[in-house]
């Protein structure tokens, strides 16, 4: 009975924050099957770590830590080729909707460029795009804010070059 | 294209459907990640090492006296106990790798340290097991006679020593290759990530 209650509470929490998990999956997995696998692995890791969550940090901070750690250490399938972002190919549960066609096109360009970044750079970009403060990013990644700023500037330049070339 | 210009549209990304992601079903599934696979392998090894001595014992039930006084049987039991302890120790070590809620950098450093120590212990464990069997092969014929070991002892000590050295060298070579294939690439990948975070 208590387990069922805990499961329900956990389900509610995940449903509320599903989009964050989805964004991590989209960043680190390139095929539909890999995204589904990663989504499941992250949810499982969150479920395992859930009893240890004491609210010392924000729930989203804790969730990002588990999701990024799982994505970069568990998914060992090597990237075979660079694919562009295909919304129609996403699993139904994580399909998304964007705004105008121009924005959609720009985002698509960005995702293609992001695929060429390293695993750590992807995490930094994602948190930056989610408007996380450098302090919060430090709390998730463990990289000092000074170092993060330097890295962020380099990533911006790298993305600028990548999108220019595409 | 400027990253900051896209921030707003990135955040405006909305889910359309979420009704079919059955979280409860997902958490009831088993893990398939590398850590889960390692844990499963160690559990299997422990179970097998517990069962095998019983199988040997019960298949020789009509010769209980011979089994119970056989040095070979007790050496095997000692080997199984050693392997169970080793697998349990490894299982606990790998379990530490499962914790994913730490800061990414600290988590990576911990994973690297655990994997490196696991590799070191694995190579040491195999070497100890091999030395144990060499010792048995040399000592056992003085207490009990087994035709195979007697034949082995009919060879000169120099030939036997050369064969043992050969075995140890082969073990060193195979362990290095297998460890590199199984963990080396992953370890290198984790180290690269950790370096990137410096």
Contact call for A129 and B104, based on CB within 8 A:
no
Q: Domain residues for B182?
A: 101-198
Q: Report yes or no on B37 lying in a domain.
A: yes
CA B108 – CA B88 distance, rounded (Å):
23
Res B41 pLDDT > 90: no
Domain end: B98, B114, B137, which one?
B98
Report helix, strand or coil for B12.
Answer: coil
Can you say whether the dihedral through the CA atoms of B113, B119, B120, B122 is positive or negative?
positive
According to DSSP, residue B18 is labeled -
- Asked whether residue B64 falls in the same domain as residue B119, the answer is no
Q: Report yes or no on B183 lying in a domain.
A: yes
pLDDT number for residue A139: 95
Res B118 pLDDT > 90: no
- Residues of A whose CB is below 8 A from B35: 74
Question: Where along chain A do its domains lie?
Answer: 2-165
Summarize chain A as % helix, strand, coil (round to 5): 75, 0, 25
Biggest CA–CA distance in chain B, Å, is 83
- Per-residue pLDDT band at B100 (split at 50, 70, 90): confident
Using CB atoms, which residue from A18, A76, A131 is nearest to B34?
A: A76
pLDDT number for residue B160: 94
pLDDT number for residue A155: 94
Using CB atoms, which residue from B31, B108, B193 is nearest to A44?
A: B31
- Per-residue pLDDT band at B141 (split at 50, 70, 90): confident
Average pLDDT, chain B: 84
Q: Report yes or no on B1 lying in a domain.
A: no
- Per-residue pLDDT band at B17 (split at 50, 70, 90): very low
- Asked whether residue B113 falls in the same domain as residue B83, the answer is no
pLDDT number for residue B21: 66
Using CB atoms, which residue from A48, A65, A118 is nearest to B104?
A: A65
- Closest-CA distance, B103 to chain A, in angstroms, reads 5
Query: Average pLDDT of B91-105?
Result: 86
Structure token pair of residue A144 = 């000092």
Domain end: B83, B98, B113, which one?
B98
pLDDT digits (tens, 9 = 90+) for A42-101: 998 899 888 888 888 889 999 999 999 999 987 554 443 333 334 444 444 444 555 567
Query: Average pLDDT of B35-61?
Result: 86
- Asked whether residue B84 falls in the same domain as residue B109, the answer is no
Q: Report yes or no on B120 lying in a domain.
A: yes
Contact call for A96 and B14, based on CB within 8 A:
yes
Q: Report yes or no on B11 lying in a domain.
A: no
Q: Report yes or no on B26 lying in a domain.
A: no
- Per-residue pLDDT band at A140 (split at 50, 70, 90): very high
- Asked whether residue B107 falls in the same domain as residue B190, the answer is yes
pLDDT number for residue A157: 92
- Per-residue pLDDT band at A156 (split at 50, 70, 90): very high
pLDDT number for residue A90: 42
- Asked whether residue B197 falls in the same domain as residue B108, the answer is yes
Contact call for B24 and A141, based on CB within 8 A:
no
Per the model's pLDDT, the better-predicted residue between A104 and A166 turns out to be A104
Nearest chain B residue (CA) to A143: B197
Nearest chain B residue (CA) to A114: B3
User: What's the structural domain count of chain B?
Assistant: 2
Structure token pair of residue A50 = 């859930």
The neighbour count for residue A86, using CB atoms within 10 Å, is 12
Res B28 pLDDT > 90: no
Structure token pair of residue B14 = 């909305």
The radius of gyration computed from the CA coordinates of chain B, to the nearest angstrom, equals 25
- Residues of B whose CB is below 8 A from A98: 9, 12-13
- Asked whether residue B117 falls in the same domain as residue B163, the answer is yes
Res B94 pLDDT > 70: yes
Res B38 pLDDT > 70: yes
pLDDT number for residue A86: 42
Whole-model pTM: value is 0.79
């Amino acid at each position: 009975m208590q387990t069922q209650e805990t499961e329900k509470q956990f389900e509610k929490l995940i449903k509320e924050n599903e989009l964050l998990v989805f964004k991590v999956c989209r960043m680190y997995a390139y095929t539909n099957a890999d995204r589904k696998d990663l989504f499941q692995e992250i949810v499982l890791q969150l479920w395992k770590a859930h009893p240890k969550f004491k609210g010392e940090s924000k729930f989203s901070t804790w969730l990002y830590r588990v999701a990024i750690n799982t994505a970069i250490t568990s998914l060992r399938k090597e990237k075979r080729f660079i694919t562009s972002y295909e919304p129609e190919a996403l699993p139904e549960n994580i399909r998304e909707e964007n705004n105008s066609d121009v924005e959609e096109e720009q985002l698509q360009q960005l995702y293609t460029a992001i695929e060429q970044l390293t695993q750590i750079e992807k995490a930094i970009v994602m948190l930056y795009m989610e408007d996380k403060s450098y302090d919060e990013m430090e709390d998730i990644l463990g990289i000092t804010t000074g170092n993060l700023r330097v890295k962020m500037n380099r990533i911006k330049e790298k993305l600028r070059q990548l999108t220019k070339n595409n | 294209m400027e990253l900051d210009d896209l921030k707003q549209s990135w955040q405006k990304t909305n889910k359309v459907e979420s009704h079919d992601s059955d979280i409860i079903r997902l958490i009831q599934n088993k893990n398939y990640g590398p850590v889960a696979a390692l844990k499963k392998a160690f559990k299997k090894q422990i179970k097998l090492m517990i069962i095998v001595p019983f199988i040997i014992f019960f298949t020789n039930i009509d010769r209980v006296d011979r089994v119970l006084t056989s040095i070979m049987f007790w050496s095997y039991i000692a080997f199984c106990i050693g392997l169970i302890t080793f697998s349990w120790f490894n299982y606990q070590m790998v379990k530490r790798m499962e914790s994913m809620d730490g800061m990414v950098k600290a988590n990576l450093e911990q994973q690297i340290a655990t994997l490196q120590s696991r590799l070191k212990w694995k190579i040491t464990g195999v070497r100890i097991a091999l030395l144990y069997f060499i010792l048995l092969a040399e000592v056992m014929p003085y207490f009990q006679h087994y035709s195979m070991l007697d034949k082995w002892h009919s060879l000169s000590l120099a030939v036997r020593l050369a064969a043992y050295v050969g075995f140890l060298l082969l073990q060193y070579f195979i362990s290095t290759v297998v460890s590199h294939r199984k963990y080396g690439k992953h370890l290198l990948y984790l180290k690269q990530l950790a370096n990137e975070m410096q």
